[in-house]
């Protein structure tokens, strides 16, 4: 894909930057947490908006930051519907297990709509310099990306998973637009295979290393081999999974961004390091667990600052983009239901 319509002499690199601080975000986070607990979760919708507005409002390109426009009431309504659906699922699991299969079928049919709704809500409530984002994907595209391609990946014992990954990224990227300018991507699937193979190799290295370390401890301490190896393998498995997942996530995002353009004048450059991201994610988790969550704001800001520093928009020296109206907010139901099932529909 020709992603560089401008010559180097006529283009400039506009790097993202995150200017938030851990101390400021901690104040927002602790108040959000306290009020959400006191109000039995009712304040959580406003808490989500406050957090996103701070994070978006401190993410800059040039002299301008992003804005987040979602209304807490819409999110609260979405969460109320999500809680109702979760309650129905729980009651069915306890009192009518024979209908669980039907619920799974309904969820499978609803999953593409959840993806479409979540992406549209997020896009339509985000803007930069008063220019709104939008998402124009339809149910058919979501069904192909999230059901058909994922099913093919499962049938082929995940040999086709990079193709499924690319289908999901294409649905996400190629249906977004910024004002009147569409995003477009062409991602080489061969490089996706290499990334996943590297991630698998990293995971297996932790597993093998943990087994060898366990055998060594067993030999030195004369303890039973099985119990010693198991004791070492459990943390090795967790650490290996976190490392591999973070590595693959960073490298696939890097690949997608480096093959994405915006309109005809802009393209993206990303310098995310898979190993650096793996270290940040793993150490953030450890620090958050050790401090019982008190350093979560620091971890969130640390990750946001690193990611912003690695991503740039390349194009005209002046980011002079014609104004476009911010689209209507859309429905928050899909995003909130997706959140309850811990489904992430973004890159």
Range of the domain at 219: 183-271+310-323
Q: What is the pLDDT of residues 298-338, one digit of tens each?
A: 999 999 999 999 999 998 877 655 533 445 455 555 555 44
Statement to judge: residues 213 and 164 lie in one domain? no
Statement to judge: residues 127 and 239 lie in one domain? no
Statement to judge: residues 138 and 114 lie in one domain? yes
How distant, in Å, are the alpha carbons of 168, 268, 318, 319 from that of 8? 32, 14, 14, 16
d(Cα 75, Cα 68) in Å, to the nearest integer? Answer: 13
Q: Up-side HSE of residue 127: CA atoms within 13 Å toward CB?
A: 18
For the chain, what is the mean pLDDT? 87
Backbone phi and psi for residue 57, each to the nearest 5 degrees, phi listed first: -70, -10
Classify residue 234: in a domain, yes or no: yes
Statement to judge: residues 343 and 233 lie in one domain? no
The total number of structural domains in the chain stands at 2
Statement to judge: residues 316 and 341 lie in one domain? no
Q: What is the pLDDT of residues 86-107, one digit of tens each?
A: 898 889 988 888 888 998 999 8
Statement to judge: residues 148 and 204 lie in one domain? no
The pTM score is: 0.86
Q: Residue holding tokens 């005209």?
A: 316
Statement to judge: residues 187 and 244 lie in one domain? yes
| Whether the Cβ atoms of residue 327 and residue 132 lie closer than 8 Å to each other | yes
Helix (H, G, I), strand (E, B) or coil at 61: strand
């Amino acid at each position: 894909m020709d992603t560089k319509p401008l010559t180097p002499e006529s283009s400039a690199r506009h790097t993202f930057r995150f200017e938030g601080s851990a101390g400021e975000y901690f104040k927002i986070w602790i108040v959000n947490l306290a009020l959400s607990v006191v109000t039995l979760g009712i304040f959580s919708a406003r808490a989500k908006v406050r957090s996103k507005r701070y994070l978006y409002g401190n993410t800059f390109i040039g002299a301008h930051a992003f804005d987040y426009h979602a209304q807490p009431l819409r999110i609260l309504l979405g969460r109320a519907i999500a809680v109702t659906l979760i309650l129905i699922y729980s009651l069915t699991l306890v009192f009518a297990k024979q209908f669980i299969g039907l619920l799974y079928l309904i969820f499978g049919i609803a999953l593409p709509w959840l993806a479409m709704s979540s992406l549209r809500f997020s896009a339509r409530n985000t803007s930069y310099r008063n220019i709104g984002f939008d998402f124009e994907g339809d149910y058919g595209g979501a069904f192909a990306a999230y059901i058909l391609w994922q099913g093919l990946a499962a049938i082929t014992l995940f040999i086709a998973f990079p193709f499924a990954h690319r289908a999901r990224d294409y649905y996400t990227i190629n249906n977004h637009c910024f004002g009147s300018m569409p995003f477009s991507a062409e991602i080489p699937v061969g490089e996706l295979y290499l990334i996943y193979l590297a991630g698998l190799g990293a995971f297996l290295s932790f597993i093998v290393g943990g087994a060898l370390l366990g055998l060594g401890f067993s030999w030195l301490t004369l303890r039973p081999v099985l119990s010693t190896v198991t004791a070492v393998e459990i943390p090795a498995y967790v650490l290996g999974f976190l490392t591999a997942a973070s590595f693959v996530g960073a490298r696939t995002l890097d690949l997608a961004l480096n093959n994405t353009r915006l309109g005809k004048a802009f393209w993206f450059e990303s310098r995310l390091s898979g190993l650096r991201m793996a270290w940040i994610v793993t150490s953030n988790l450890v620090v958050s667990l050790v401090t019982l969550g008190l350093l979560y704001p620091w971890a969130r800001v640390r990750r946001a600052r690193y990611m912003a520093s690695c991503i740039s928009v390349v194009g005209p020296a002046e980011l002079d983009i014609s104004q476009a109206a911010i689209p209507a907010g859309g429905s928050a139901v899909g995003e909130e239901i997706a959140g309850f099932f811990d489904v992430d529909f973004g890159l």
